C-alpha cells in the first residue's frame, strides 16, 4: 500500500485545493492530509485564517479523496514522516526549487520518500481570495 501525504492551510477551500487532493489520491492508495493549525498560520503568514481550524478540518475530511486528516502544528516534514511513514509527499509546483523544499528533499534523500510536484492551479489562491475580500 502506497501512503501519500500533503499539507495545507485549506482556508477558503477552492478548486486548486481540490485539484491537489484529487491528483494526490490518484498517485497513492491512502492519503493523509495535514491541515495547518490557526497558530501555525498566524506565525507563518502573520494573520489568522478566515475559516477556523476545526471547520477547515471538517471540510477536508468531507473530501472523498482524503483518507485521514491530521493537524499540522509545525513545518517539520521529517517528524511527520517519522509519525505517519508515508511513501510520497505531494506539493504544488510553485514550491519546486524553493530553498525550503530543497532542504526537505535533502532531509529525505535516504528515506525512499518520493516528492511529487503537481502543477499549480493558476488564477486562484487563498491569498488572492483574501485580497479580493479586503478590497
Domain total in the chain: 1
Say if residue 86 is exposed, middle or buried (CB neighbours under 10 Å; 0-12, 13-18, 19+).
Answer: buried
C-alpha cell at 56: 477547515
Pair 7, 57: CB distance under 8 Å = no
Q: What is the pLDDT of residues 5-36, one digit of tens each?
A: 999 999 988 888 999 999 999 999 999 999 99
At residue 65, the pLDDT reads 98
The span from the CA of 40 to the CA of 60, in Å, is: 17
Residue-level pLDDT at 58:
98
Dihedrals φ, ψ of 125, to 5°? -165, 160
Q: Which domain holds residue 91?
A: 3-134
CATH of the domain at 67: 3.40.50.620
What's the pLDDT score for residue 128? 60
The per-residue pLDDT for range 40-57, each reduced to its tens digit, is 999 998 989 999 999 999
Question: Measured between alpha carbons, how far is 70 from 33 in angstroms, rounded to an integer?
Answer: 6
> Which carries the bigger pLDDT value, residue 123 or residue 26?
26
CA distance 78 to 108: 7
Residues 116, 91: contact at Cβ < 8 Å?
yes
Q: What is the pLDDT of residue 94?
A: 84
Predicted TM-score (pTM) of the model is 0.89
Q: Each residue of 55-99: pLDDT tens digit?
A: 999 999 999 999 999 999 999 999 999 999 999 999 988 888 899
Confidence of residue 133 (pLDDT cuts 50, 70, 90): low
Amino acid at each position: 500500500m502506497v501512503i501519500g501525504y500533503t499539507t495545507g492551510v485549506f482556508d477558503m477551500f477552492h478548486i486548486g485545493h481540490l485539484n491537489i487532493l484529487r491528483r494526490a489520491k490518484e498517485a497513492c492508495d491512502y492519503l493523509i492530509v495535514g491541515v495547518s493549525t490557526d497558530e501555525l498560520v498566524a506565525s507563518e503568514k502573520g494573520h489568522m485564517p478566515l475559516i477556523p481550524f476545526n471547520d477547515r478540518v471538517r471540510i477536508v475530511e468531507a473530501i472523498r479523496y482524503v483518507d485521514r486528516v491530521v493537524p499540522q502544528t509545525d513545518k517539520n516534514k521529517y517528524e511527520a514522516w517519522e509519525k505517519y511513514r508515508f511513501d510520497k509527499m505531494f506539493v504544488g509546483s510553485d514550491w519546486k526549487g524553493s530553498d525550503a523544499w530543497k532542504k526537505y528533499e535533502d532531509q529525505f534523500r535516504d528515506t525512499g520518500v518520493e516528492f511529487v510536484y503537481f502543477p499549480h492551479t493558476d488564477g486562484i489562491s487563498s491569498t488572492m481570495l483574501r485580497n479580493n475580500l479586503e478590497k
